[in-house]
Chain A
Amino acid sequence: MQGQTNYSGVNNDMPEENQLETNPQSSSKTKFIIGGLLIVAAIIYLIASSTSKSAQYFLTVEETLQKSAAGELDGRNLRISGAVIGDTIQYDSETLKLTFTIAHVPGDNKEIKAEGGLAAVLHNAVSDPDRPRLQVIYEGPLPDLLQNEAQAIITGYLQEDGVFYADELLLKCPTKYEEAVPGQAGG
């Protein structure tokens, strides 16, 4: 970031080439390659260790219930997507405790397409009483987008009582808006 205008004399502020060349080219190159590799290794370690620390399993409601029955979910941080059943939404504004139930929606895009798109899938999920369901408890402000047939993506832990305690709640109503509006994350 030296002065921007001295193009003509690119090298004028440093010693002539080769004058101070004490190390052979190859050994100095090795030095830099090793230094670079160390930094790259540190970055990779940082990413890898952060991944394993904050990995969340992304599951459907059905998978959650199956895996929970098989005892595979002990204390794991989960992220679950499902359709909000409007009648089950209860909010206590004194304690900010929000309770609602989500119904299973398929996780596979092909299945969603086959069922006629996401809006249809959400609608079917809510109206079909035989779909696997999961009760969710969340503490915090009542999200603006929480309504019947909204898609909820919840993050948190499944407790032994079979209730999911969410510490993050993302909502989307695909019937009306397809824009990617950043979700309203709680907490």
Chain B
Amino acid sequence: MAADIGFGSLFITLIVALYGVGAAIYGERNKDNMWVDSARNAMLLTFPLLTISVASLIYLLVTDQYQIAYVARVSSRSMPVYLKVAALWGSQAGSLVFWSWLLAAFASAVTLRKWDRERDLLPWVIVVSLGTLAFFLVMNIFFENPFAKLWQTAQRVVIAMTAPENALPLVPRDGQGLNPLLRHPGMVIHPPMQYLGFVAFIIPYAFAMASLITGRADDSWIRITRKWTLWAWLFLSLGLVLGMRWAYDVLGWGGYWGWDPVEISAFMPWLTGTAFLHSVMIQEKRVMFKQWNMVLIILTYDLVIFGTFLTRSGVLSSVHSFAQSAIGPLFFVFIALTLTASLGLVLYRWDDLKSKNSLKSFFSREALFLLNNLLFLGILVASFWGVIFPLISELATGQKVTVGPPFYERATAPLFGGLMLLMGVAPLAAWGYSSWKTLNRSLVKPFFASLTVIPVTFALGIWQPWYAVLAFWLIGFVITVTICEFWRGSMSRARRFDENFFAALWQLVKRHRRRYGGYIIHLSMILMALGILGIEVFQAETQGTIAQGESLQLGVYSMTYERLDNFDTDDGRNLARAMVSVSKNGKEVGKLYPRRDYFYDSQQFVTIPGVRSTLADDFYVILIDWKPISQAGATFKIYHNPLVKWMWIGAWVFTFGILVAAWPEKKPHSPRQTRIRS
């Protein structure tokens, strides 16, 4: 029953969405606001309708209705309720419903804004949003239906909405359960965050397309969606970081990022989105790069669609081996169509989008922003190249050749380094005209101040490799420049308005939120870079089998195996949990409990590391094997991951920076207030 309601609601939403697209186009063509308003109401209606579908699916999951094929596959009786709910996005069909629901929510939120001045954009925003929604609903209804039931005919099991001839309902006693690796709090919040980020980027795209279709060459679409884009970017970034954290905490291989095609596909829209966030500022400031911004948001949109599809279907790894999804070709057709149509529109409006201004100097702010964009796109191209290289090589030579993490590291590290350098240099460059001389003058002091980082790294015993020393210096340089910017701004304000330093700092940030929020985000990126540098370059590891009471050594650390407990839990797991004590320089600093969980329902082990995390380093222990009878010996692998904690700290700072930049303003500033520092 709930399944029929959920499915019916999906179907009605599709009809409503298609009606909305038609009504919006008709109303726009005939200048009839009644039809446009009707389309707007249709868009508002999609959200409650899809809420019914999502609620039905959650109900089916929570009440263990295993006749539903999707429920049988991703849920099981032993799973706690929060995981049953999270199983909504445990596999492709449910993920797509969840995705559509988020899109409907965002589209509705957009519909409710005041449209007085941009009313001409409204019909096209509706067409793009509802068109995208309709595509995902078609996927759900005709190809990946989460409400389909299991039926037993004389010969085989059939998955269908309604009973085939001579078939009886097949109701398994229990489901297969969510993949044990996904049964983790990090996995409960990582996919929704990622999806929020993905879906929120649809909205700026819809406005960009509306602006192109109506021929509005101004930047109203950018101003309207600026805050949207920031929130989208926040969610996308947090989605990525949470995924890394989950990998670090659960996958038990001492790392956080493996340049897997799925990870890359989630990373690619982040790259174009980040480039977009930067380059729209040039359009606002200097009325330049209009065509470029259009291209960036179009790329982001299609990479979002690509990522949504890829993160759940595994088509790229499947090219050689993995199970293929029925909806692959349709996704590629949709991406090809939207990409061609959008880029075609940009070409059609090319002349309207031409800028009067042009680049004047290599060292102007806008030129450096452009360089930033080139570097982001360079990383994008390298990532995309790595993912599709097997396909290309097979087409070209008949021989499949793949590239692994070393390719990505080697190809992207210099580009990331370039971006870091820009974070240090660009904030000091002026708009329009900025010669090397003027830029140099503001660079000299922070540059020499940051050079002190190098003797410090040497004093800490880090001479090798040279690029690590260079990276440490870069980190120091960006931090110096950024703090100087806060300092200079506050000091000049303090002098001017006779405020104390902290009041001046508060006012400074409050009145230039995007600028200083941006600097906080730069700092957060630098902190993350510090963590990545630590684990990527200075990770050390060792392994060994030791009896109880014996120790393993790794650098200044030593780890003693104390005992092992082996027991069953209520939720269908068998735990083997070791207790080890960790000493640093001979002094005990704590106990860790690395463990291996065996899941009876899926007959699978999950290795959970024990981690002692400090600002300086992580001590990371994996229990690899143990002797069941004597419990005397066990095998451990231990990692020393310097500085990695700064990655997670950076993520918090990042969130704070976005909040500073994107928090809704109380009232518009008067022009006088904005002249304080320009």
Contacts and interface: CB of A to CB of B under 8 A. Distances in A.
Interface in B384-419: 385, 389-390, 399-407, 410-411, 414-415
Interface in B243-267: 247, 251-253, 255, 258, 260, 262-263
Contacts of A58: 320, 390, 400-402
Interface in A30-54: 31-32, 35-36, 39-40, 43, 46-47, 50-51, 53-54
Given A29-B358, A43-B381, A151-B321, A53 B410 contact: yes
Contacts of B401: 55-58
B678 A6 contact: yes
A27 B368 CA distance: 19
Interface string A11-41: 1111101001000010011011001100110
A115 to B, nearest CB: 12
A51 B515 contact: no
Most chain B beta carbons < 10 A, residue from A46, A81, A91, A145: A46
A132 interface: no
B362 A35 contact: yes
A43 B515 CA distance: 29
Interface of A: 1-15, 17, 20, 25, 28-29, 31-32, 35-36, 39-40, 43, 46-47, 50-51, 53-59, 79, 81, 91, 93-94, 96, 105, 107, 109, 112-113, 117-119, 140-142, 144-145, 147, 151, 153, 155, 168, 172-174, 176-186
B622 A53 contact: no
B674 interface: yes
B411 A50 contact: yes
Interface residues of B, number: 100
B290 interface: no
Contacts of A140: 543, 637
A51 B385 contact: yes
A144 B608 CA distance: 11
B182 A181 contact: yes
Contacts of B513: 4
Interface string B614-657: 00000000101100000001010100000000000000000000
Interface in B310-356: 310-314, 317-324, 356
A179 B530 CA distance: 32
Contacts of B604: 144-145, 173
Nearest to A155: B404
B251 A5 contact: no
B75 to A, nearest CB: 13
A43 B378 contact: yes
B410 A5 contact: no
Contacts of A176: 176, 179, 602
B285 A46 contact: no
Contacts of A168: 404
B678 A13 contact: yes
Contacts of A6: 671, 674-675, 678
A9 B669 CA distance: 14
